[in-house]
Amino acid sequence: MKLIAILLALASSSAMAAAPFSGTDYSGTYECKGDDNHEGQYEAIVTLKLDKAQSNGKYGAYQFKMEVPGYGEYPGHAAAYGANMAIHFANTDAATKDYGTGIAAFTKKAGKWTFKKYYFEPEFKGGNFGFENCRQK
């Protein structure tokens, strides 16, 4: 029993310590051109906002919002490490089942961040995917 108590004490004392955010901040507004497997080509505005309180070291936590004319708003959240970001989003009209997960890769071109995102939507129109190319304003 003493060994278990010691191991539990060691495990709790080695829990992840919060570290100041030291990663790249991708916050900003992005103009996007997308190609959706069901809906075809579209344009969108994406806003990313770093949540420093929930970011740790090189890991960034973000609030995400995409606005697509004719389709509505897609609020969500994202987690980044290095030049890669995982993104979850959902249309504010839940009846559309237009929600999903994406993965984005960031690069810097002419002083502006750009990203290319692939996304998967498990329920939208029987399943769906698409791509977006976005450039920081």
10 Å CB burial of residue 26 (0-12, 13-18, 19+) is buried
18: confidence class by pLDDT, cuts 50, 70, 90: confident
The mean per-residue pLDDT over the stretch 106-133 comes to 97
The pLDDT of residue 42 is: 98
List strand residue ranges (DSSP E) for the chain, in order. Answer: 28-36, 40-50, 59-68, 72-81, 84-90, 99-109, 112-121, 128-136
| Contacts (Cβ under 8 Å, ≥6 apart) of 18 | 56
Whether the predicted pLDDT of 26 surpasses 50: yes
In this predicted model, what pLDDT tens digit does every residue of 82-103 receive, in sequence order? 999 999 999 999 999 999 999 9
Token couple for 101? 């997960």
The pLDDT of residue 6 is: 46
The pLDDT of residue 10 is: 42
Instruction: Report pTM.
Output: 0.87
| Higher-scoring residue by pLDDT: 12, 51 | 51
The mean per-residue pLDDT over the stretch 104-122 comes to 97
The pLDDT of residue 8 is: 46
